[in-house]
Chain A
Amino acid sequence: MSSFLTSRNVADVLGGITNGVIYSLVALSLVLVWRSTRILNFAQGAMAMIATYVGFAVLAPTTSYWVSMAVAIVAGLLIGGLTERVIVRGLYGKPEINPVVAMVGFLLVLESVAAAIWSTGSRGLPTPFSMVDWQLNHKPVALSPFALYEIVTAVVVMTVIAGLFQFTKLGLRLRAAALAPEVSRLLGVRVGRMLTLGWMLSSAVGAVTAVLVASNYFTGLTPTAMDGVFAFGFIAAAIGGLDSPVGALLSGIALGVILQFVGDYLNSNAIILVALGMLVVSLMVRPNGVFTRSAQRRV
């Protein structure tokens, strides 16, 4: 048993899951706004990065990681809401290329602004839990308290989001506004408010993700810290289907595990190549995503 837990393959699976939950969170964040507003938020990672900088601005006075996390989440909510009201609202119903250009532009603006304010140097953020792997019979298991914290946080975030959408009145309105905006208005749902709220939730999920990424001292926080994570999260969302939160979760974890094996058995340079290859193949075979049930929306 103990040799199994410390074996190379189990190590790859555990390491893959740890990376994968981060991709799942990014994918979930993208799915939340795609479902309601049909906009691919290319600035998702950058918005989350800004929220994290804001959160860690309070680190010095309070010295609490958890207060910083809370502030980052609140900043994420505000950034998401403001983005929807100020930038995104004017893009609804426009040709598909408009939001793409606008969101890529917004990404570049945010990264430049962050560099101007906080410089491009990496900030090591405090790690609330040890990143040293647990040991079993003097052999390391590829799981550290920090990795477990990442996984648990991701599970909590997803459970909260799923519970909100599935079991609350607000969730019913959020889903209705996304599926059938005009019908929802005819039932008294304030659709504009629901769309803003969807962006706020998405951005808050992003903020939690970015705090996790930044508290890993191998990455730290830089204006471009989320670029790589965003790319993998985007691939996970595209493979899982941009309409499917469950697909986002599963394909994020699957992607993490597969890429961990690729890096271990092949070559770490092959990781991005394999990820893009998977994206291309999945777009050819199932363009609407592996987990999307129906190709067409019916109302």
Chain B
Amino acid sequence: MIRVDGLSVSYGAVQALRDVSFEAQTGTITAVLGANGAGKTTLLRTISGLVAPRSGSIALDEATLTGMRTEDIVRRGVGHVPEGRGVIAEFTVEENLRLGAMISSVPLRDGLAQQYEWFPVLGERRKQAAATLSGGERQMLAMARALIAQPTVLLLDEPSLGLAPLVTAQLMHTVAELCTTTGLTVILVEQNAKSALRIASRAVVLYLGRVVADDVAAVVAQDDQLRQYYLGMVK
């Protein structure tokens, strides 16, 4: 379980997060929704230690993550698939995966076999440079590279960005399946509220760095006011 408590983050004079608190339960998907600039990406970057908070704390189960280095947070089992995917274009598919597998205790061969089973297209292209992959394939590679490290928590930043609806649906399905089968905890940041709410059990809505809603996903999905004002969804 990830517990975020009273988190505030500033970039100079700009306050990106104000007193944000919520919990992401083990084995579930928590959607973090909101418009551009709501602070969603900042929230994930703060959880994985890339951004230092001004105040507040983040805990993984009983351990405090605040103040730890990104490398150590990742080694504790927090995987982060950054916005824009972040695959290393100059590396082959397999090199990207091997890099992700370095902190895993599972033998490399088993880890690779598992990912190629989940994402068969990556197996077909394992010797290709990541630069030659399509957008959807890159997203799969980024996800597989995070998963091969055997994380207990996965932070996903806009996985649907730039993807065809069908590919998005496939990815979301894979994520949901992993949660039920492996007990993975997912924090899913999305602008595409509709697809996120479909698979999430809880949803946190951010507006200008503040939590304006934190409820069961189905309730958020039904709340007309939220949908209209904060999520930009038309009925």
- B99→A176 contact, CB < 8 A: yes
8 Å CB interface, A181-204 against B: 182-191
CA of A299 to CA of B103, assembled, Å: 22
8 Å CB interface, A14-48 against B: none
- A186→B70 contact, CB < 8 A: yes
Does A169 interact with chain B (Cβ within 8 Å)? yes
8 Å CB interface, B57-107 against A: 70-71, 74-75, 80, 82, 86-91, 95, 98-100, 102-103
- B145→A179 contact, CB < 8 A: no
- A169→B82 contact, CB < 8 A: no
Does B48 interact with chain A (Cβ within 8 Å)? yes
Does A180 interact with chain B (Cβ within 8 Å)? yes
How many pairs of residues, A versus B, come closer than 8 Å at their CB atoms? Answer: 63
- B48→A186 contact, CB < 8 A: yes
CB distance from A185 to the nearest CB of B (A): 4
Chain A interface: which size bin?
10 to 19
- Which residue of A has the minimal Cβ distance to B75? A188
Does B121 interact with chain A (Cβ within 8 Å)? no
Does B204 interact with chain A (Cβ within 8 Å)? no
CB distance from A296 to the nearest CB of B (A): 11
- Which residue of A has the minimal Cβ distance to B95? A172
Does A94 interact with chain B (Cβ within 8 Å)? no
Task: State the majority secondary structure of interface residues on A.
Answer: helix
Q: Specify which chain B residues have a CB less than 8 angstroms from the CB of A186 in the assembled complex.
A: 48, 50, 70, 74, 80, 82, 86
CB distance from B156 to the nearest CB of A (A): 12
Known: A185-B71, A185-B74, A299-B86. A172 touches B98 (CB 8 A): yes
Q: Specify which chain A residues have a CB less than 8 angstroms from the CB of B103 in the assembled complex.
A: 187-188
Does B131 interact with chain A (Cβ within 8 Å)? yes
- B89→A187 contact, CB < 8 A: no
Most B Cβ at <10 Å: residue of A173, A185, A298 = A185
- Which residue of A has the minimal Cβ distance to B84? A299
Question: Can you list 6 A-B pairs, Cβ within 8 angstroms, ordered by A?
Answer: A172-B95, A173-B102, A182-B86, A183-B88, A186-B70, A186-B80
- Nearest first, the 8 closest Cβ-Cβ pairs linking A and B are A188-B103, A183-B86, A188-B74, A185-B70, A298-B89, A186-B80, A188-B75, A180-B88
Q: What 10 new A-B contacts, CB under 8 Å, besides A187-B103, A188-B103, A189-B71? A: A173-B102, A176-B99, A183-B82, A183-B86, A185-B50, A185-B70, A186-B74, A186-B80, A187-B74, A188-B149
